[in-house]
Copies of this chain bind each other. A is one copy, B any other.
Amino acid sequence: MPRATAATQSRSLTEDRESDLEGFVGYNLKRAYLVFSADFRRALGRHGFGPRQFSALSLIVQFPQITQSELARKLGIERSGLVAIVDELEGRGFVARMPVPGDRRVQALAATKDGRTAYLHAREVVRSHEETLLSDLTPDELDTLNGVLRKIRESEA
């Protein structure tokens, strides 16, 4: 069994030879997220997708007729913040706002054919960008990472 490398003494309270900062999960989480974010833009920027548009379109494709409030809830952002995202997706012809018979307040969202096509293509680009970024990880590490990130997310109030 390949044991963890020698660089895992980080739990000591008094050993200060490496930066304190590197020992904080929050800081490392932010830096790792920034690496992903920058690479995402490199990979999908030319396709005209930012992370927010991609996330929103993904959920719209997957949950047809979802309302804006529900989508905002799933994304963890405010309704007001979602308006601009949907505006842009609609402006590109990827998404349509549609009235809902029973309730005239809500706008149901549906991906157009173009939107679905663009999403399926973008999804493959994102998969490949992630595969590259994560290529140094063992399958075990990848599994643990996914599980841990989910645990952290679920600990949210």
Interface residues of A (CB under 8 A from B): 2, 4-5, 8, 10, 13-14, 16, 19-22, 24-37, 40, 51, 55, 58-59, 61-62, 64-65, 74, 76, 96, 98, 110-113, 116, 120, 123, 126, 130, 133-134, 136-137, 140-153, 155-156
Contacts and interface: CB of A to CB of B under 8 A. Distances in A.
Contact of A156 (B35, B65, B96): B35
The copy count of this chain in the complex is 2
Contacts of A150: 22, 28
A24 B130 contact: yes
Contact of A28 (B28, B123, B146): B146
Contact of A62 (B20, B65, B133): B20
A146 B143 CA distance: 14
Contact of A147 (B29, B130, B141): B141
